[in-house]
Amino acid sequence: MTFDLTGTRAFVTGAGTGIGRSVALELARAGADVAITYRTHDGGPVVAELTALGRTAVALPMDATDSADVDRVVAHAAEALGGGIDVLVNNAGGLVGRRSVTEMTDEHWHAVLDVNLTSMFLVTRSVLRHMPDGGRIISISSQAGQNGGGPGAAAYAAAKAGMDGLTRALAKELGPRRITANSVAPGFIGDTPFQETFTPQDAQRAAIAGIPVGRPGVPADVAAAAVYLASEQAGFTNGAVIDVNGGAWLR
């Protein structure tokens, strides 16, 4: 089945690299025009890839934890896309660093929740002012939100679990407007700055060994789920958490 997103206006946060970049590109390949945000990775090269696909595209720097900046950037993105946003992908986030609970500072806890969960709230609230009925909200959570994550990831796991909870609340609140809200929960996804920065090679090998399909995930695996959730065919999928982990739950 091919998903046709022609005429769809998509907004993807944290899309300068990794999963966000792949999601933006797959949405564009399906026909969507795409606005992306970035903070630490320049979004310019991604916009070049999007426009090469024949799509309207814009990259905007944004601090997803700053309410005023979010509102400013979202308004700019909606204008650049022709006056609205049909699909939101909340991808901005990160582990920040590994800390055990006993060694975790208040500042670390709040930083991790802000960059993952608070950012989802701020961006979603802002985008809803520009989203017509029938829109799509897709949030990239994590397997960590369901299994507690790896060593030193308690704050990250809590934030990602919160994203799934907020997704379910949005699904109920916005359902009467035919706006669906769903999460995609990746397991081990290789070839991303996340793994390169936070997961030692021996831990990566152990994680891959525990995946029944015998390979790590790649950003395109997550992007494929996002494209489905953005499509007309997903109109009755609401409040779901889509696991993209190669069957890692089964071991």
- Which residue type, as a one-letter code, is found at position 105? T
Q: Tell me what pLDDT residue 219 has.
A: 96
Average pLDDT, the chain: 94
pLDDT greater at residue 248 or residue 204 = 248
Q: What are the tens digits of pLDDT across the range 31-40?
A: 999 999 999 8
The rounded distance, in Å, linking the Cα atoms of 182 and 186 is 13
Asked whether residue 251 carries a pLDDT value surpassing 50, the answer given is no
Beta carbons within 8 Å of 66's beta carbon, 6+ residues apart? 122
- 228 included as an active-site residue: no
The rounded distance, in Å, linking the Cα atoms of 66 and 232 is 32
**87-96, 126-135, 197-206: lowest mean pLDDT where?**
197-206
Asked whether residue 250 carries a pLDDT value surpassing 60, the answer given is no
The rounded distance, in Å, linking the Cα atoms of 140 and 241 is 9
Q: Tell me what pLDDT residue 202 has.
A: 76
Q: Tell me what pLDDT residue 198 has.
A: 58
Beta carbons within 8 Å of 92's beta carbon, 6+ residues apart? 13, 14, 20, 37, 39, 62, 64, 115, 119, 123
Asked whether residue 117 carries a pLDDT value surpassing 50, the answer given is yes
Q: Tell me what pLDDT residue 143 has.
A: 95
Asked whether residue 7 carries a pLDDT value surpassing 70, the answer given is yes
Assigned token pair, 218: 């790649």
Beta carbons within 8 Å of 209's beta carbon, 6+ residues apart? none
Of 156, 188, 194, 228, which one is the catalytic site residue? 156
Give just the sign of the alpha carbon dihedral 75, 80, 84, 85. Answer: negative
Kindly report the number of other CB atoms within 10 A of residue 111's CB atom. Answer: 16
The rounded distance, in Å, linking the Cα atoms of 220 and 24 is 10
The rounded distance, in Å, linking the Cα atoms of 105 and 127 is 32
- Which superfamily is assigned to 9-240 in CATH? NAD(P)-binding Rossmann-like Domain (3.40.50.720)
**13-22, 103-112, 202-211: lowest mean pLDDT where?**
202-211
Kindly report the number of other CB atoms within 10 A of residue 133's CB atom. Answer: 9
Q: What are the tens digits of pLDDT across the range 153-192?
A: 999 999 999 999 999 999 999 999 999 999 999 999 987 6
Asked whether residue 205 carries a pLDDT value surpassing 90, the answer given is no
Asked whether residue 49 carries a pLDDT value surpassing 70, the answer given is yes
pTM of the model: 0.94
Asked whether residue 203 carries a pLDDT value surpassing 80, the answer given is no
